[in-house]
Structure 1
Amino acid sequence: MDLSVVIPLLNEQDSLTELHDWIVRVMKSNHFSYEILFIDDGSTDKSWDTITQLSAKDPNVKGIRFLKNFGKSQALHAGFDEAQGDVIITMDADLQDSPDEIPELYQMIKQEGFDLVSGWKKKRYDSVIAKNLPSKLFNWAARKTSGVKLHDFNCGLKAYNIDVVKNIDVNGEMHRYIPVLSKNAGFTNIGEKVVQHQARKYGETKFGIDRFIHGFLDLITIWFLSRFARRPMHLFGALGVIMFTIGFAFSAYLGIDKLYFNPFGRLITQRPQFYIALATMIIGTQFFVAGFLGELILRNRPDKQRYFIKQTLNLK
C-alpha cells in the first residue's frame, strides 16, 4: 500500500464527508493505493455516524473511536499503530490542510529520501493575536531548544516514512514535537514544505490559551527527555554532587574557622552560614536520590495502556 492518511478529529462532523471526497479525488488522480484512518477522539457530535457511513460505502475508510477524549497525541498513536502504508500522511479534519499537498509530500519521502516532511503554513488565516503570534514565539523556542530547524512545529500536515511512525512513541501531548521525537530516535533526515493554509470552513478552533501554556511546558519536558530520559542520574546525580560539595566545603570552612581562628567566638550553630551549608547538603542528597530513583523506575517501568478504544471499523 502506498499511503495511509491518519486524521485525528474531535467534533468535526460537518467537514468529514467533504474531506473524504477531496482525499479520494487526489488518490485516484495519482493512482495511489491508500487507506484513510479517521481517529475519533471522543466526539460528542455525529462525527462517528459520518465515519460509519463513509466506511460503509468506501472500504478504504477505517475508523477508531475512543471511549472519551484522550487527546491528539493518543489519537495519532492509535493511527500510527494501525497504519499499513509505505508513507503516512497526517492532517487535521477541519479542511484547513489541503489534500492536494499529498502527492508532493509522498514524493519527498519516496523519491528524495526524507524520513519526515513537515508542512509550513507560511501564510495563515488564523487570528494574529490569538494564534499567529503565540505560534511564532512557540516555534522559535522549539527551534532553539530542540535543534530541529522547522518553521512550523504545530502544522498537522506531515508525511512520514513508515519506519518512523513504528519506532516513535507519541504520548502525553507530544504531537507537537514528533519531529523532535523522530530526531531523538535516529531519524534525522527531516524536511519542510510550504503548504497551503485554508480558512476554517466549519465549526470553531480548538486552540486556546491553555494549549499555548501546555505547549511550552511540553517543550521543557521534551528538552529534558531528549537529553536525560535514558540517564536521569547524569542530571540529578551531577546536581546532587555539586550541591553537596558546596555545602560540605562551607561546613569545613566553618569548622576550621572555629577550631583555629575563632575558638571563643559564636557557636557554629549561631552563624547563618551553617544553615546555608546544611540546607545545601540536604538538597544535594535529595537530587542524588532523585536520580537514583529515576534510574530504578526507568529499568522497571511497566507498559501501560494510555487510551481505550470503544469501536473500530474495517481494521484487521
Structure 2
Amino acid sequence: MDISVVVPLYDEVESLPELTTWISRVMADNNYTYEIILIDDGSKDGSWDMIVKLKENNPFIQGIRFRRNYGKSAALNTGFEAARGNVIITMDADLQDSPDEIPALYRRIADDGYDLISGWKAKRYDPLTKTIPTKLFNSATRKMSGIPNLHDFNCGLKSYRKAVVKNIEVYGEMHRYIPVLAKWAGFTKIGEQIVEHRPRKYGKTKFGWSRFINGFLDLLSIFFVGKFGKRPMHFFGMMGTLSFFTGIGLAIWLIADKLIDLSHHVVPRQPTDNPLFYFALVAILLGSQLFLTGFVAELVSRSASERNKYQIEDTI
C-alpha cells in the first residue's frame, strides 16, 4: 500500500464527507493505493455515525472510535499503530489542510528519501490567540531540539516514512513535537514544505489556553526524556553529586573554622549558630535523595509503558 492518511477528529461531522471525497479524488488521480483512517476522539455530534455511513460507500475508509475524548496525541498514536501504508500522511479533519498537498508530500518521502516532512503554513488564517502561542512554541522548540530548519512543528499536515511512526510514541500534548520525537528516535532526515492553510469552513476551533501550558510542560518532558530517558542516573547522579559534595565541603569548612578558633584559644561558635550549617545539611540530604532517585529511575527506565492503552469502543 502506498499511503495511509491518518485523520484525528473531534466533532467534525460536517466536514467529513467533503474531506474523504477530496482525499479519494486525489488518490485516484495519482493512482495511489491507499487507506483513510479516521479516529473519532470521543465526538458528541454524530461524527461516528457519519464515518459508518461513509465506510459503506468507500471501502478504503477505516474508523476507530474512542469511548471518550483522549486528545489529539492519543488519536495519532492509535492511527499510527493501525497504518499499513509505506508513507503515512496526517491531516486535520477541519478542511484547513488541503488533500491536494498529498502527492508532493508523498514524493518527498518516497522519492527524495526523507524520514519526515513537516508542513509550514506560511500564511495562516487562525486568530492571534492561536498564532502567537504557536510562534512562541516554535521558537523555543527550535532552540531546545536542535532542529533549526522547521518553522512550524505543530502543523497537522505531515508525511512520514512508515518506520518513523512505528518507532515513536505520542502521548500527552506531544503531537506538537513529533519531529523532535522522530529525531530522538534516530530519524534525522527531517524536512519542511510550504503548504496551504485554508480558513475553517465548519465548526469551531478546539484550541484552548490549557494547551499552551500543557504544551510547554511536554516540551520540557521531551527534552528530558530524549536526553536522559535511557540514562537517568546521568542527570540525577550529576545533580546529586554536586549537591552532596557542596554540602560536604561546607561541613568541612565549618569544622576547620572551629579547629582554627580552638588553636587560637578562642571560644568557638557552635556550628548551629552559622546559617551555612543548615545549608550544608540540606545539600547533603538533597544530594542523597537525588542519588536514590537516579538509582530507582535506572531500574524502571526499561520498563514497558502502559500510558498508550486507550479504550476503543468500536472499529470498522
TM-score tier after normalising by the smaller chain length: over 0.9
Quick one: distance in 1 between partners of 2:201 and 2:208?
A: 18
In the TM superposition, what are the counterparts of 1:4-43 in structure 2 within 5 Å? 4-43=4-43
Task: Report deviation, 1:182.
Answer: 0.7
Q: 1:226 — aligned with what? A: 226
Query: Partner letter of residue 297 of structure 1?
Result: V
Task: Report deviation, 1:212.
Answer: 1.2
Residue 159 of structure 2 corresponds to residue 159 of structure 1? yes
Q: 1:267 — aligned with what? A: 270
Quick one: distance in 2 between partners of 1:31 and 1:188?
A: 30
Assess if the C-alpha contact under 8 Å between 1:63 and 1:312 holds in 2.
yes
Quick one: distance in 2 between partners of 1:238 and 1:305?
A: 31
Give aligned pairs, total. Answer: 312
In the TM superposition, what are the counterparts of 1:230-269 in structure 2 within 5 Å? 230-262=230-262, 264-269=267-272
Q: 2:298 — aligned with what? A: 295
Residue 310 of structure 2 corresponds to residue 312 of structure 1? no
Query: Partner letter of residue 278 of structure 1?
Result: L
Q: 2:283 — aligned with what? A: 280
RMSD, aligned α-carbons: 1.1
Q: 1:133 — aligned with what? A: 132
Which one is further off, 166-175 or 191-200?
166-175
Which one is further off, 272-281 or 295-304?
295-304
Task: Report deviation, 1:117.
Answer: 0.3
Assess if the C-alpha contact under 8 Å between 2:74 and 2:308 holds in 1.
no
In the TM superposition, what are the counterparts of 1:161-240 in structure 2 within 5 Å? 161-240=161-240
In the TM superposition, what are the counterparts of 1:57-72 in structure 2 within 5 Å? 57-72=57-72
Query: Partner letter of residue 287 of structure 2?
Result: G
Q: Secondary structure at the match of 1:18?
A: helix
Quick one: distance in 1 between partners of 2:256 and 2:194?
A: 67
Quick one: distance in 1 between partners of 2:227 and 2:305?
A: 22
Task: Report deviation, 1:172.
Answer: 2.1
Task: Report deviation, 1:299.
Answer: 3.5
Query: Partner letter of residue 109 of structure 2?
Result: I
Query: Partner letter of residue 194 of structure 1?
Result: I
Assess if the C-alpha contact under 8 Å between 2:230 and 2:302 holds in 1.
no
Q: 1:148 — aligned with what? A: 147
Q: Secondary structure at the match of 1:266?
A: coil
Quick one: distance in 2 between partners of 1:240 and 1:186?
A: 29
Assess if the C-alpha contact under 8 Å between 2:42 and 2:65 holds in 1.
yes
Task: Report deviation, 1:303.
Answer: 4.2
Which one is further off, 262-271 or 56-65?
262-271
Quick one: distance in 1 between partners of 2:117 and 2:35?
A: 19
Assess if the C-alpha contact under 8 Å between 2:13 and 2:45 holds in 1.
yes
Quick one: distance in 1 between partners of 2:63 and 2:99?
A: 19
In the TM superposition, what are the counterparts of 1:90-101 in structure 2 within 5 Å? 90-101=90-101
| Runs (4+) off by over 2 Å | 260-263, 299-306
Quick one: distance in 2 between partners of 1:300 and 1:279?
A: 32
Assess if the C-alpha contact under 8 Å between 1:89 and 1:158 holds in 2.
yes
Task: Report deviation, 1:186.
Answer: 0.8
Assess if the C-alpha contact under 8 Å between 1:39 and 1:63 holds in 2.
yes
Query: Partner letter of residue 102 of structure 1?
Result: I
Q: 1:196 to 1:163 in 2, by over 3 A?
A: same
Q: Secondary structure at the match of 1:201?
A: coil
Quick one: distance in 2 between partners of 1:301 and 1:90?
A: 27
Residue 73 of structure 2 corresponds to residue 73 of structure 1? yes
TM-score (norm 1): 0.96
Q: Deviations over 1:229-267 (max 9, x none)?
A: 111110011100111101000000100111223551211
Assess if the C-alpha contact under 8 Å between 1:26 and 1:99 holds in 2.
yes
Q: Deviations over 1:171-196 (max 9, x none)?
A: 22211111111111111000100000
Q: 1:109 — aligned with what? A: 109
Assess if the C-alpha contact under 8 Å between 2:261 and 2:268 holds in 1.
no
Quick one: distance in 1 between partners of 2:230 and 2:24?
A: 43
Task: Report deviation, 1:304.
Answer: 5.3
Assess if the C-alpha contact under 8 Å between 1:74 and 1:306 holds in 2.
no
Structure 1 stretches of 5 or more lacking a match? none
